[in-house]
Amino acid sequence: MIASLLGLLLVLFQLVLLARVVVDWIGVLSPGSGGSALYQARRVTHGITEPVIAPVRRVVRPVNLGGISLDLAFIIVFVGVLILRTAIVPLIPF
């Protein structure tokens, strides 16, 4: 029961991480559009994910690739959640 609940929480967190990517890209590709709805979506997704990503970002800084900055902390957290899910899902009896 605990494994299935933890697995569900990890799936939901992973979906919020994906939503964060979508919201950030919408803001980058069409600045000024979306208004308050985009701001609210960004506030919610960052509010949920930033407490997990920020400590990783303090250790692993973003990599500058010319004019683009690649946030490795996000990638590390996403892969970490994926690995945890893979390890926990086999514990759930069907």
Convert the pLDDT of each residue in 44-92 to its tens digit. Answer: 999 999 999 999 999 998 899 888 888 899 999 999 999 998 888 776 6
CA 15 and chain centroid, separation:
8
Q: Do residues 14 and 82 make contact, with C-beta atoms less than 8 angstroms apart? A: yes
Global pTM reads 0.84
* Nearest-angstrom CA–CA distance, 38 and 26: 8
5-9, 35-39, 41-45, 60-64: range with lowest mean pLDDT: 35-39
The domains of the chain are located at 2-89
Query: Amino acid letter at 30?
Result: S
Q: Which pLDDT score is estimated for 37?
A: 85
Outline where DSSP puts E strands in 8-70: 63-65, 68-70
Collect all residues with Cβ–Cβ distance below 8 Å to 49 and sequence separation of at least 6.
13, 16, 17, 20, 77
